[in-house]
Every structure is written in structure tokens, then in C-alpha cells.
Amino acid sequence: MIAEIGHFALILALAVAAFQTLVPLIGAERGNRQMIASAVPATLIQLVLVYVAFAALTHAYLISDFSVRNVFENSHSAKPLLYKISGVWGNHEGSMLLWVFILASFGGAVAIFGDNLPPTLKARVLAVQGSIGFAFLLFIVVASNPFARLIPVPIEGNGLNPVLQDPALAFHPPFLYAGYVGLSVAFSFAIAALIEGKVDAAWARWVRPWTLAAWMFLTIGISMGSWWAYYELGWGGWWFWDPVENASFMPWLVATALLHSAIVVEKRNALKVWTVLLSILAFSLSLLGTFLVRSGVLTSVHAFAVDPERGIFILGILCFFIGGALTLFAWRAPALKAGGFFSPISREGGLVLNNLFLCAACAAVLIGTLYPLALETVTGEKISVGPPYFNLTFGPIMLPLLLLVPLGAQLSWKRADLFAALQRLWAAAALAVSLGVLVLIATERGPWLAPFGMALGAWLIFGSLADLAQRIALFRSPLAASLSRLVGLPRSSLGMTCAHAGLGLMIIGIIAITLWKVEHIVAMKPGERADVGDYTVQFVGETPLTGENYTGRAGQFRIFRGETEIASVVSEKREFKPMGTPTTEVGLHQALAGDVYVVMGDKTADGARVVRLYFNPLVSLIWLGALIMFFGGALSLTDRRYRVGAPKRKLTPAGVPAE
Amino acid sequence: MTRKQKRLSVIVGGLAILGLAAGLVLYALRDTIVFFYTPSEISEKNVLPGTRLRLGGLVEEGSISRTGGTTVSFVVTDTIKTLNVSYTGQLPDLFREGQGVVAEGVLDASGGFIADTVLAKHDENYMPKDVADKLKEKGVWQEGKGAGP
């Protein structure tokens, strides 16, 4: 019964989404206030209906209602509660429902918090949101109904893919989707602005917080995925340039560019056309990511759908929105007047460079991801484009950008003095270079990237801190005065410092694990020892293992530094009910200096275990850096400008009408 | 600088960056891509030893042998030709006899394959799409039934 309510709510939501798309759009065109005002209630009703559907499916999972086909195929009564909940989106139909759930939430947030938007703009934004919701609801209702019943009712379900039964992965999809779908708001704003023919500083100020929120979710979602890959897959790596990873990384790159270019629109009323285009591209890449991941064209853990019809449906949605948006852009963008002018060496110039590099890097990733698909379609030849390609393209494109980050933050608007900016950064530069020299001495004859990469990370961290120190006049005024300045500083500027410093930490982590990782594969019998990095690992022995929905063997390992035991870890081989699917759990000892990573493998002929040992230096900095970037985003989001009704269009005479 | 010169310098700078990026991409695409072959294709195409490639097929029943220590050898077949593979390290959890496999590595001079990566799909219905497609081409795969003789 409850499943039918969910199904019915979905169909109603589809109808409401159609209304939400058409009526406000026509109303805004004709200046009909009633029709314009209908946008908000329509959005909220759609939101409630989608929530009801989502709750109905969650309910079916919680009570293990195997008469619902989706639950039967993806759940099992012996599964722990957390994975019953995460099972809701651990499959094709449920994940599409989650997509629409988050889309409706963002629409609702615009409806509720968008009080200060001009009514016509708000109506159009909500209408575009509604149209996206309509497309995906139609997809769910027509081609991926999560509430389909099964007769006769099976007694037990098939269970969730065991590698997905993991806490980090339980929450990776909601965060990632919140990022993907959050970019739809920037998209809707861009389309609404194109229809209105008006982009100004106020528009940028409305778009920025939404983009920022989406960017934060993407950051955290991608790093959760990478963290999962690191300790669950047991390959000792944290990023594999897998097409599915790239699919989430590309929107992140463009969203980062968009965050920066929107600042230029807001502060200088320039780069307007470009920013609108970026808003469209960012969400287009989200759609592309959804298509790549969900259509089954890629072989991966994410490819639930093997039904080609579904792939074609998503491809249709993709073509409609990207094609439609770009057509509208080509038609209307020339009407947006160019804004203030600036010298190449200025804050604006720096941000343009940032955008160029980020977009070029994104294009390189896009080509590397799509080229194998294109080649296979055209010639039938199968190839794989792996890490060597991305190291050779993405790396060199990003390096100059990273070098310029602290410098760009020092430049003033309109026209800047490069020499003065460099002068303000001398201390940071000196610290970074000395770190590089230290590394060079310590790792004599090592790869050049090691000292360079470490110096680069330090340059980002110290450069951001130097900027902060100047703003609060640290050491140049009494400490109390500096502290009170720190508190009074705009949150967005603190956020920038955090985000850039977090990026620096991440670079250090990435360079360290890439260049200094120690890998050691040995056959070990109980009692035997092996060295990895500065540590010694002893295989104690194995014991049988019984979990809630699996059985297996647990290998005990003790980790020594010199002769002192510092930790003991367990690496497990599990077999999951009901299929007996095997998985391996990594034994992980984490420390800031580096992780000791132990994977117990198969038995050899003489009864030993093949054991893979890694020492991954400084690897935690990657996720710590991501967390700090996320925190920086959150700080920015609380900036006063976004709260106190500041974005009032009538206060900004800079607005340039199209006509 | 005049307005025009400023604009020109921004555009030229931008084009230079994009040009460099395009050059890198083209260079990388020529040198870093890895082709995917089945054992039959390797013998048809006379692939030179030392060329990096991906090998796909089924693990032949009864062919897995652990020659002591951490090295494993097995035979990959597309039911027409076979190829001996040796690999040092841990096999993926889902590596099984009679199931599909993708190995990346190089051919050695004696015609064996030295793998440095062995891949498994995270799925119990274990057949990498790449392998299934290749086997369908060779006519040894039936839809719905999986690989059969």
C-alpha cells in the first residue's frame, strides 16, 4: 500500500513539475502576477510529493518489503540498518529518486530563501528547476519505477553489493548528488538571466552562494569517494583516473572556475557572458556525469543500468538541456553588454587566468574520458586511457595555475602592481623555497617533482597565511588589535584563505604519496616479519570471523617501529551472504606522517599468505586538505553579504538591461 | 597600453594557454593510450614484445598455479587462442577460474604476458563488459547465458 502511495506521489509530482515549468514562465512573460506567484507553491508541493515518494521507498527498505522488486534485488533482511538505508540509493532506480529528491530540495530552498529575488527572475528560476525535475521524474515514472511489485513475493532479497556496504560509501552518493544537482541552481539562474537579458552584480551575488554550496558538497563527495577507494579497494591508491571519478571531477573543476568568475561579475560587473556560459557548462557536465555513470556505457561499480533504453533516455535529457541551453545562450548572450574593463595584470586578469587553466584542465580530462568511447564507436578499436595520459596533461596544466594562486589573491582590482604583490609575498616565497631545498638535500637525485611539489604546497599555504597576516596587520600592530581585525574580516576572505591553504596541504599529500609510496609484496607465515618504510609488520596469525551478514578470516598484524610495537591491525577476507561474494578489508594504521596499509591476500601453495604492505607518507593530508577546503567554503557561505538582504537589485544601478 | 592592446594581450595569452593544452593532449593521446586485445588478436596483429596492452578473456579452468612466493601464473583464453600470464601480487577478490579477466602489462620475448595489473569488476555477475563484447565478436558468448563453448 505504502509503495503505491509513493508511486502515486511520483506521478503527481510529475504533473506538478509540468505546471511549475509552464505557468510561471508564461506568467513572467506576460507580467501576470498571479501566474508568477504560483511558482513558489508549485515548487513546494512538488517538494512534498517527492519527499513522500522517497519516504515510501525508504520505508520499504527498512521493513524489507520484498514484494517491491527494487528492494528484493538490492536488499537483504540480515543487512545492518545503515546499509538498509543506504541501499535506497545503492541501485539505479533509487539513485535516480535521490537525484530528484535533492533537485526538489534545492528548488524548495530557492523558493523559501529567495525572498529578495525580483519576482519575475524567481519565477523563471523556479520554472527552469521545474523543467529539470519534470525530465527526471518522467524518466523515473516511465523507465525506472522503483515501486514495481513482484509476484510471487520472495522470502529473501538478493543483498547489496558488499563493496558498497561501507560507511563512507553510504553517504558518498548523497553528498556527490547534492553537488551535481546543486549546480542546477546556477544553471537555472543562467537560463533565467538569458531569458530576461539581464546579468548584473546582484545576479552574481545570488548565484554565488548556490554555486558555493554545490562546490562544497562536490568537494566532500569526491573526497569521500576517494577515501572509500583508498581503504576499501585495497590497491593502496587514492585516485585512479577512472572515468567515473573523472565524471565527478569535471563538474568540480568548472564549478571552481565559476566560483571565481562570479566574483568578477559581482565586484566589477565584467565577464558576464563567460560566467553565464560557465554556469551552463557546470551543470551540463553534471548531466554528462550522470549519463556516463548511470547509462552503463562505462564498466564500473556505478553502472547499475544495463538497459540501453534507459541510457538513451538520459542521453535525450542531456541533449535537450545542454543543446537547449547553448542555443539560448547563442541567441541571447550577445544582448548582454560587456562590463568594466581591466588591465591584464589585475585581480580580474588573475581570475581570467584561473578560469582558462581550470577549463583547459577540465577539457583535457573530458577528452581523456570520452576519447575511448568515441574511438570505440567510430572504429570499434578498444583502448584505455589511464593515469599516464592524465599525469602528462592535467599535471602540467594545473602547475602554473597553482603557482599563481597566492599571487592572484594579492593583486588589486582593475590595475595591479605585480612587483608590489611579489614583495608582499617574499616571506612566503622564502619559506617555500627553503622547504624545497631541504627536500632536495634529503632526497638527493630523487625526481625533480619532489622538491618542486613540496615547495609548491608550502607556497600555497604560506602565501594564503601571508595574505591573512597582512589583512589583520599581524606583527605590525598589537596582537589584540590584530585579533579583533581577524574577527571583523569578511568571512568570504577567511574562507578563501582556508580553501587555498587546504589546497596546498592536499598538494603536499598528493606529491608525497605519488613519489614516496613504499610498496612491498611478500608471502608471510604466522610469526614472520617484513619491513615497509620505517616500519616492521609482523603477521600474527588468522582467526575465523563472523559478522552480521558475512563470514570470513581475520588476519592479525602487529606494527613495529624499531622494536616498539605501535599498533596492531586486522585485515579481513569476508564472504557475504547470500551470494558468497568475497571482499577484502584493509588493515590500516593511520598517522599524520603516513599510513601503514596491510592487505591480506590468498594462500600460497605452502600455506603462507600473500601480503601486500604499503607505507603511504602524508596521505591523510589529501583528505584533511579537502576538509579544510570544505570548511573554507562553509565560512564563505556565512558571509554577511549573502544574508542581510544585501542583494537588492534596485540598489545596484550597474544593472544593464539588454534592450 | 590602449584598450585594444589590453584586450589583445588577454586574448593572445588565453589562446597560448589553450594551444599548449591542446598540444599536450594530442601528444599524450599518441603516447599513453593502451590498446585492448584478446589472445587471438595478439597473435593476428603481431604485437611487438614490450608494447603495453590490455589483455582480456577468460581464465582457463585449472590453469592457475602459484609457483611459490607471490607470483601467480594463469592462462587467459578467448576459446580460440590462449596466452600464459604471470603476475606478481594479489589477485582481485573476484578472480576465478572460468571467469572473465582484464590484465594490463607487456608481452615478453618468449610470447608470455607479464601483467602488472589484474582487474575485476565489482560485481558478482562477473564479466567485464570489454571482455563480453570481445567474446560476442568471436561468437563464443551467448546473451543471457554467458560464455559457453
Of A393, A582, A601, the CB nearest to B24: A393
Of B34, B93, B128, the CB nearest to A299: B128
Q: Do B17 and A385 touch (CB under 8 A)?
A: no
Domain membership flag for residue B49: yes
Same domain, B24 and B40: no
Domain membership flag for residue B147: no
Domain membership flag for residue B143: no
Same domain, B12 and B42: no
Interface subset of B 99-138, CB within 8 angstroms of A: 104, 121-124, 128-130, 133-134
Domain membership flag for residue B144: no
Q: Hey, which of A344-348, A489-493, A612-616, B124-128 has the most confident mean pLDDT? A: A612-616
Same domain, B42 and B1: no
Residues B149, B147: Cα–Cα separation, whole Å: 7
Domain membership flag for residue B146: no
Can you tell me whether residue B71 is helix, strand or coil? strand
Same domain, B67 and B83: yes
Residues A178, A59: Cα–Cα separation, whole Å: 22
Which residues share a beta bridge with B118? B103
Domain membership flag for residue B20: yes
Q: Do B68 and A386 touch (CB under 8 A)?
A: no
Residues A327, A333: Cα–Cα separation, whole Å: 10
Can you tell me whether residue A522 is helix, strand or coil? strand
Enumerate the residues of chain A whose CB falls inside 8 A of the CB of residue B123.
161, 301
Min distance B61 CA to chain A CA atoms (Å): 18
Q: Do B9 and A344 touch (CB under 8 A)?
A: yes
* CATH code for the domain in which residue B112 is found: 2.40.50.140
Same domain, B53 and B69: yes
Higher local confidence (pLDDT), A140 or A659: A140
Return the pLDDT at A80. Answer: 87
Enumerate the residues of chain A whose CB falls inside 8 A of the CB of residue B130.
299, 382
**Site from A345, A356, A611 to mutate, B interface, most B CB atoms within 10 angstroms:** A356
Residues B38, A426: Cα–Cα separation, whole Å: 58
- Count of A-B CB contacts under 8 Å: 129
C-alpha cell at A361: 584542465
Return the pLDDT at B85. Answer: 92
Residues A125, A113: Cα–Cα separation, whole Å: 13
Can you tell me whether residue A632 is helix, strand or coil? helix
Residues B29, B21: Cα–Cα separation, whole Å: 12
Q: What is the pLDDT of residues A378-424, one digit of tens each?
A: 887 888 888 889 999 999 999 999 999 999 988 888 888 888 888 88
Min distance A451 CA to chain B CA atoms (Å): 24
Q: Do A392 and B28 touch (CB under 8 A)?
A: yes
DSSP single-letter state for residue B33: -
Of B93, B104, B130, the CB nearest to A382: B130
Enumerate the residues of chain A whose CB falls inside 8 A of the CB of residue B55.
none
| Radius of gyration of the CA atoms of chain A, in A | 27
Same domain, B43 and B22: no
Of A341, A522, A599, the CB nearest to B70: A522
Q: Hey, which of A71-85, A529-543, B34-48, B129-143 has the most confident mean pLDDT? A: A529-543
CB atoms within 10 A of CB A196: 18
Range of B13's domain?
1-32
Enumerate the residues of chain A whose CB falls inside 8 A of the CB of residue B20.
397
- Residue in the structure block whose three cell numbers are 521524474: A137
Of B28, B122, B124, the CB nearest to A579: B124
C-alpha cell at A181: 544537482
Min distance B46 CA to chain A CA atoms (Å): 16
The answer to whether residue A374 scores a pLDDT higher than 60 is yes
Residues A81, A74: Cα–Cα separation, whole Å: 14
Residues A146, A160: Cα–Cα separation, whole Å: 15
Of B27, B36, B129, the CB nearest to A384: B36
CB–CB of A478/A607 below 8 Å? no
Min distance A540 CA to chain B CA atoms (Å): 19
Q: How many residues does chain A have?
A: 659
Q: Does B47 touch chain A (CB under 8 A)?
A: no
Higher local confidence (pLDDT), B119 or A199: A199
Enumerate the residues of chain B whose CB falls inside 8 A of the CB of residue A386.
32, 34
* Strand B82-88 with B113-119, pairing: parallel
Q: What is the pLDDT of residues A217-249, one digit of tens each?
A: 999 999 998 998 898 877 778 898 988 889 999
- pLDDT category, A146, cuts 50, 70, 90? very high
Q: Does B71 touch chain A (CB under 8 A)?
A: no
Same domain, B40 and B28: no
| Angstrom distances, CA of residue A634 to CA of A248, A360, A377 | 20, 27, 43
Which residues share a beta bridge with A532? A535
**Site from B9, B12, B25 to mutate, A interface, most A CB atoms within 10 angstroms:** B25
- Residue in the structure block whose three cell numbers are 597560448: B16
Measure CA B9 to chain center: 44
Same domain, B118 and B58: yes
- pLDDT category, A623, cuts 50, 70, 90? very high
Domain membership flag for residue B148: no
Of B10, B123, B133, the CB nearest to A161: B123
- Which residues, in sequence order, are CB contacts of A378 under 8 Å at separation 6+? none
Min distance B7 CA to chain A CA atoms (Å): 8
Q: How many residues does chain B have?
A: 149
Enumerate the residues of chain B whose CB falls inside 8 A of the CB of residue A271.
none
Same domain, B65 and B134: yes
C-alpha cell at A215: 562546490
| Angstrom distances, CA of residue A267 to CA of A193, A264, A276, A433, A472 | 18, 5, 16, 34, 22
Amino acid sitting at position B107: L
**Average confidence (pLDDT) over A309-330:** 91
Number of domains in chain B: 2
* Complex prediction ipTM: 0.81
Can you tell me whether residue A533 is helix, strand or coil? coil
**Average confidence (pLDDT) over B38-61:** 85
Same domain, B67 and B44: yes
C-alpha cell at A405: 594562486
Same domain, B22 and B41: no
Please report, in angstroms and rounded to a whole number, the separation of the first and last CA atoms in chain A: 55
Same domain, B89 and B103: yes
- pLDDT category, B137, cuts 50, 70, 90? low
**Average confidence (pLDDT) over B54-65:** 85
Full-prediction pTM beyond 0.80? yes
Enumerate the residues of chain A whose CB falls inside 8 A of the CB of residue B10.
344, 349, 352
Enumerate the residues of chain B whose CB falls inside 8 A of the CB of residue A388.
28, 31-32
Min distance B49 CA to chain A CA atoms (Å): 18
Min distance B37 CA to chain A CA atoms (Å): 8
C-alpha cell at A583: 571482499
Residues A257, A218: Cα–Cα separation, whole Å: 14
Q: What is the pLDDT of residues A344-368, one digit of tens each?
A: 888 988 999 999 999 999 999 999 9
